[in-house]
Structure 1
Amino acid sequence: MPRACGLAAVVLALALDQAHKFWMLHVFDIGLRQPIHVTSFLDLVLSWNFGVSYSLLSSQTEPTRALLIAFQLSIVACLAYWLWRAPRRLTAAALGLVVGGALGNVADRLTRGAVADFFFFHTALPVGPLANYVFNVADAAIFIGVLLLLLESLRADAARPTPIAG
């Protein structure tokens, strides 16, 4: 049962991400409408990311893009193995969100040469690099999956008996 839950999360995250990107790029045409101010801290924009978070490991040439894709797919393979062996549905679902989000961004690199980001979070608060952050549905799925894994690990730690000192 955990595997089915994890695979459903992979498919859901990947499908939502790719559908949203298609809609933003080809139906809504965000490139011609940007920026759209949603709130004082959130705008809709089109930003092409040639790297990973904050454009780290930027890959604007075919060889570097191929290396980045290979690196990402190797991480996805490790996470998929963990998902396959996950004993609990929450673990599998969380890993599925991470894997599905990662595959959504890999799909962008393969089909568009870069990852399309749309949600521009910005604030004047002193929160370091999060003061300006552009992300997409895949990134949100990855974030939620990691958050669920962290919460589950805290819950698991709380459930373990505390050893009695002798």
Structure 2
Amino acid sequence: MRLSRKHWIMIVFTPLALLCDQITKQMIHSALEPFEEIVIIPGHLEFILVRNSGLVFGMFSGRLGGTATLIFLGITVIALGIIIHLFFHTENKAVVLPLALSLVLAGAFGNLIDRLRWGYVVDFINMHAHLLGKERTWPTFNIADLAITGGIVLLVIDAFKPQFIWLFNLISGRKSEEQGSGAE
């Protein structure tokens, strides 16, 4: 049986993203104590070990106990079902949708592995930006979170691809297919 493009994308990118996530988390977990920092770009980026026992962005941290693991196990099972359904209903030559699904799958499994292994998710990327005269700090996150976010962005792009093409054509002054391509 010859594998299609979508299968190769899933086979390559899911384990690659999951491996990057788990290796970086292990490195941070081994190198830092909780809330210890390594400054990467002063005032903008540091690595800091945060043990996230809560939900997304640390919500309800310390108040859910083992419930958070059960909630995320349920969410991961539901996400897996949706991903499998979408994957099998995707064209074999598709690129964006299988890549998006691979990233979401890897991210979901990466954070689930943390919860099962340590009882919490290892977050470590801490970013700051100076906007409108104030310092803004994004909640601490990890590679799995980046994979999930990137996958969702790709899903949106794929879902609205015709609108993006139309907008690009409008901005660039090209005629869209709806306007016709006959001689003028």
TM-score by length of 1: 0.81
2:38 partner amino acid:
I
Structure 2 CA distance, aligned partners of 1:57 and 1:71? 17
2:155 partner amino acid:
L
2:36 match: 34
Aligned pair partner of 1:154 in 151, 157, 160? 160
2:87 match: 83
Query: Are positions 1:136 and 2:138 aligned together?
Result: no
Structure 2 CA distance, aligned partners of 1:53 and 1:33? 18
Larger RCO, structures 1/2 (Cα 8 Å, 6+ apart) = 1
**Unpaired segments of 5 or more residues in structure 2?**
167-175, 180-184
CA deviations over 1:32-62 (Å, ceiling 9, x no partner): 7921111121111001112332223656422
| Aligned residues with identical type, % of pairs | 24
Worse overlay, 83-92 or 95-104? 83-92
1:30 partner amino acid:
L
TM-score by length of 2: 0.74
Structure 2 CA distance, aligned partners of 1:73 and 1:16? 22
CA deviations over 1:99-141 (Å, ceiling 9, x no partner): 1111100110111111001100123425xxx733211111111
Aligned pair partner of 2:53 in 34, 50, 53? 50
Query: Aligned in 2, Cα 1:143/1:64: closer, same or farther, shift over 3 Å?
Result: closer
**Unpaired segments of 5 or more residues in structure 1?**
none
Query: Aligned in 2, Cα 1:78/1:65: closer, same or farther, shift over 3 Å?
Result: same
2:172 match: none
Query: Aligned in 2, Cα 1:33/1:65: closer, same or farther, shift over 3 Å?
Result: closer
The 5-angstrom pairing of residues 118-137 of structure 1 reads 118-125=124-131, 131-137=137-143
1:11 match: 15
